[in-house]
Structures are given as C-alpha cells and as structure tokens.
Chains A and B, each alone.
Chain A
Amino acid sequence: MQWLANIGRSAIDTVGSFGRAFLMLMGAIIAKPQLIKNTPLTIKQIYVVGVQSLLIIVVSGLFIGMVMALQGYTILVGYGAEGSLGPMVALSLLRELGPVVTALLFAGRAGSALTAEIGLMKATEQLSSLEMMAVDPLRRVVAPRLWAGIISMPMLAIIFSAVGILGGHIVGVDWLGVDAGSYWSIMQSSVDWNKDVVNGIIKTVVFAFVITWIAIFKGYDAIPTSEGISKATTETVVFSSLAVLGLDFILTALMFGIE
C-alpha cells in the first residue's frame, strides 16, 4: 500500500506546486504597473538574459545553418534539386529549428542562471529582507525577469534563424557552388510571411513565457540550501526542455497540421 500512498503524495505535491506557480505568476503580472521604477530593472535584465546569450545563439545558429546546408545539399543534389537548398534551410529554421533550438539553448544558458540567482537570493535571505523592507519581491525581482525573458527570447530566435540562413549560404553557395540567385529567390518565393515567419515567432513567445516562468518559479520555490538550489537548477533545464518539445508538437499540429 506504501506505493499507492507515494503516488498520491507526489500527485498532491505536483498539483500544489502548479498552484504556487500560478499564484506567483499572478502576483508578478497582475499588479499596478510601476513603469518608472520597473523599466530600468527590466532593461537591465534584458541585458543579462538576452544580450549576454547572444554569442551562444549566433555561434549555434551559424553551425546549424552550415550543417543543414551540407546535409541538404548531399541529398538534394542526387535529384538535381540543389536549387531548393535555400527554402529548405529557411523553412526548417523559421518553422522549427529557430524556435526550438533557441529555446533549448535559452533554457540552459538563461533559465538555469535565473533559477540559481533567485534561489540564492532566497537562501541568503535577500527576498525576505525585501519583504521586510516593504518591497514586494514578486514585483521587484520576479516581474522584471519574466518580462525580460518574454521580450528577449523571440529576438534571439529571429537572430538565430537569420544567422542560420547566412550559414547555409556560406556552405551551400560559397563552398558547394549552389547558384546564389536561386538560393535567395526560391527562398523568397516559398517562405510565407504569416504561415512561416509569424507562426515561428508565436512559437518562440510561447516558449519564452514557459521557460522563464519555470525558471523563476523553480528559483522562487527552491529549498534554500545548496542541495535544493542545485536540484532546482537541474529541474529548470529538464522541465523547460521537455515542455518546449511537447509544446512544439502541439503548436506545430495546430499551425501546420490541418490544411
């Protein structure tokens, strides 16, 4: 009977933490906006989670684009269709790889940092001391980081896709000799603004929200010991990666599944 009790307990814990996560989110976003105070804080966080993630995003985007061009070329050239390399690279990046790979990198680079930072603020009593100074940590610490994540990640994903397309150009056109004109013009004619670009951006906004939410909540809810924070950081990366992949399937099915 012990295992049954354990299942019940973990179910209750899970539901409880969903409830706490929701309450934290409500406390952070449903509040009288304090634009003058919060804008500088949010900008600082955009620098931390966004600008400082730029290097890893650009390098990864470049390599992913290059690899796709290489793989795509070897397959397409067999059918004499290497001219379609441009749309292949662009569509895969805009629809799938841009949003998903950026999200996974963002979870590892920025999400884990957010969890560890907030968890340590909790462990060193900084959150408590904010509360005792009559400053709401949800508005002061949580809200700026949440907005910063939601604002920066879609931009990172766009940069990722753009750099990836350039990477594809370097390998496909400059190295393997695909015609530059067909790389660009067939890409332009087959990429649809609403269907491909906008849908990709919608995906990244959803991913950004989920990752940042998980990261901040895991830090805010962490057990304030070194062990608790390490566990929370791991869970942030694991849970947000899984959430991104699961949500990606659902979103893809909704956007591209049924014509």
Chain B
Amino acid sequence: MENLLEIDNLTFSRSGRIIYDDISLRIVKGKTTAIMGPSGIGKTTMLRLMGGQLKPDSGDIRFKGESIQSMSRNRLFTVRRQMSMLFQSGALFTDMTVYDNIAFPLREHTKLSEAEIKTLVLLKLQAVGLRGAADLMPAELSGGMARRAALARAIALDPELIMYDEPFAGQDPISMGVLVKLIKALNDALQLTSVVVTHDVTEVLTIADYIYILAEKKVIGSGTPEQIKQSDSPLVQQFLKGHADGPVPFHYPADELELTFLGAK
C-alpha cells in the first residue's frame, strides 16, 4: 500500500499551548482515513498542517514523499492543486452564484474554454445533485446544499487528496445520509484519497477504511473500524459510546470544591 501523505513525529503548539505532541499518521492512497477526537483538540489544525497553511514546530509532513513545510510558496501552490479541502462552513464565495463558485478553480488554473467549463461544472453539480441550483446564490442554499455545492467545487479540478473538515456537523439526518453516500461514491468513482476529520462516530464507522483517534495531544487509538470497536482503551470506548465522564473528565480543571464554596480549608 502506497502512502499519499505521511506525518512523522509532528509537534505543534499555538500561543504557548501544545496541540500535538509527537504524532505520526499515514494516509494511504485510494482509502478513506478518518481522524476523530473530542472537540477542541485541533482536528481542523491537523488539516491545515496537511495543506501547508500552518507549519509544525518539529516533525515532517510529506505529500507524495515531498516535505510540505520546506516547499517554496510557489511549489506549495502547485502541490495544492492536487489536494482540496471541504471547509466546515462550505466557504463558498458569497458574491458569486453556485455555478461561478464551481467554475472558479477551473477558470483560475486551467485554460479551458467557457463551453468546456460549463460542461465540467454541470457534471460536477449533477454528481452532487445540485444541477438545478446552478444559478442560485450561496445565501439561498440550505446548510446541506451549501456543503454539497462546496463539495462539487472541491472536486472541480479532480484532486488526488480531499480533506473534509467536519462534513457532518450540524446536518439533519437526511443531509447527513446524502453526504455519507456522496463521500463514499466519490471515493469509489474517482479513486480519491480522503481524510475525514469528524466526531460523528456512527457515520465515520461506515465510510472509513482506517481510523485515528486523537486526544490529549496524542494518537490514542488507530485501526480499521472493527479494530477500533474492539479496542480495550477506556478513552477510545468513552469516545465511541459517548459517556459523559471517564478518562476525558466532565469537569474543566478547577480548584477543589471546598476551596471555591467554603473558602479556605
């Protein structure tokens, strides 16, 4: 199995707080890898590191064997044409129609004629079921539709790697089902490599080939969905089953109760 993206001994901190401490990940070509973990542990940060928007303090991130953090800005921009990212908010350009949003990367990076671009855009929109919404503005779309439109834009240039930032967050069950089906179908049809960052356990277990669970700055569990379900780590089990208290405590660290309510002991 060939690795499209390799992360070795990554350490990253922001404003003095360590986010990741010596993490290693492998993203296998043609597979869907899920990165899971509780909110607030910097899953989105991981995607930004993979896309070269942030630089790690130490460690190495390689895309097709080439180190991302030591690339020049020009080289990085060239490499980014092979990857794309679906942002949590969709990040559609609000001043353009859905059609122009999806045509945008094609107009920027290819020399295709407008007629060819039209064919491509409508094909991509058809793939996500929004051909009829081509002339709408992003503000007129529902949350689920906006995310599908953003997905069409993300696959416009036929990238090799696509990164999904919380694709299911805040979606109703139907949109969620549609997105799960889409991600799966795109992966199979286009031979894409996908990285899905999420905390929606059930959805991920159905689409991921391999799962990493991050917590407390480390990878606390990894494996296929089956291996993860069988994991004996209490932290992994707490996360999968959604228990309120456990290794990830319910209470944010604070002074002892007596100290707060009764004054000095």
**What CA separation (Å) do A20 and B201 show in the bound complex?**
41
- Residues from chain B with a CB closer than 8 A to the CB of A132 are 51, 53, 80, 83-85
Nearest-Cβ distance from residue B161 to partner chain A, whole angstroms: 11
Say whether A124 contacts B94, CB under 8 Å.
yes
**What CA separation (Å) do A124 and B92 show in the bound complex?**
9
Given A124-B94, A135-B108, also A129-B85 (CB < 8 A): yes
Interface membership of A13, Cβ < 8 A: no
* Residue of B81, B83, B91, B108 touching A129 (CB-CB under 8 A): B91
- Residues from chain A with a CB closer than 8 A to the CB of B92 are 126
Q: Mark B151-175, 1 if CB is under 8 A from A, else 0.
A: 0000000000000000000000000
Interface membership of B104, Cβ < 8 A: yes
- Residues from chain B with a CB closer than 8 A to the CB of A133 are 80, 84, 104-105, 108-109
Say whether A134 contacts B85, CB under 8 Å.
no
**What CA separation (Å) do A132 and B53 show in the bound complex?**
8
Say whether B78 contacts A128, CB under 8 Å.
no
How many CB-defined contacts (below 8 Å) exist between A and B?
43
CB closest residue in chain A, given B108: A135
Q: Mark B96-126, 1 if CB is under 8 A from A, else 0.
A: 0000000011001100000000000000000
Interface membership of B237, Cβ < 8 A: no
Given A125-B87, A129-B87, also A134-B109 (CB < 8 A): yes
**What CA separation (Å) do A137 and B89 show in the bound complex?**
18
Quick one: which of B65-98 are within 8 Å of A by CB? 77-78, 80-81, 83-85, 87-89, 91-94
Q: Count residues of chain A with CB under 8 A from any CB of chain B.
A: 11
**What CA separation (Å) do A15 and B179 show in the bound complex?**
46
* Residue of B81, B91, B93, B94 touching A134 (CB-CB under 8 A): B81
Say whether B80 contacts A126, CB under 8 Å.
no
Nearest-Cβ distance from residue B196 to partner chain A, whole angstroms: 16
Interface membership of A131, Cβ < 8 A: yes
* Residue of B94, B105, B109 touching A126 (CB-CB under 8 A): B94
- Residues from chain A with a CB closer than 8 A to the CB of B48 are 128
Interface membership of A235, Cβ < 8 A: no
Nearest-Cβ distance from residue B25 to partner chain A, whole angstroms: 19
Interface membership of A221, Cβ < 8 A: no
Interface membership of A136, Cβ < 8 A: yes
Given A132-B51, A132-B83, A133-B104, also A125-B89 (CB < 8 A): yes
Binding site for A on B (CB under 8 A): 48, 51, 53, 77-78, 80-81, 83-85, 87-89, 91-94, 104-105, 108-109
Q: Could you list 10 examples of A-B contacts with CB < 8 Å? A: A125-B88, A126-B91, A128-B91, A132-B84, A133-B80, A133-B104, A133-B109, A134-B80, A134-B81, A135-B105
Top-10 shortest CB links A-B: A129-B91, A125-B91, A134-B80, A134-B77, A125-B87, A132-B85, A134-B81, A133-B105, A126-B91, A135-B108
Q: A133-B105, A134-B81 are in contact. List 13 more A-B contacts (CB 8 A).
A: A124-B89, A124-B91, A125-B88, A125-B89, A126-B91, A126-B94, A128-B53, A128-B85, A129-B85, A131-B80, A132-B51, A133-B109, A135-B105
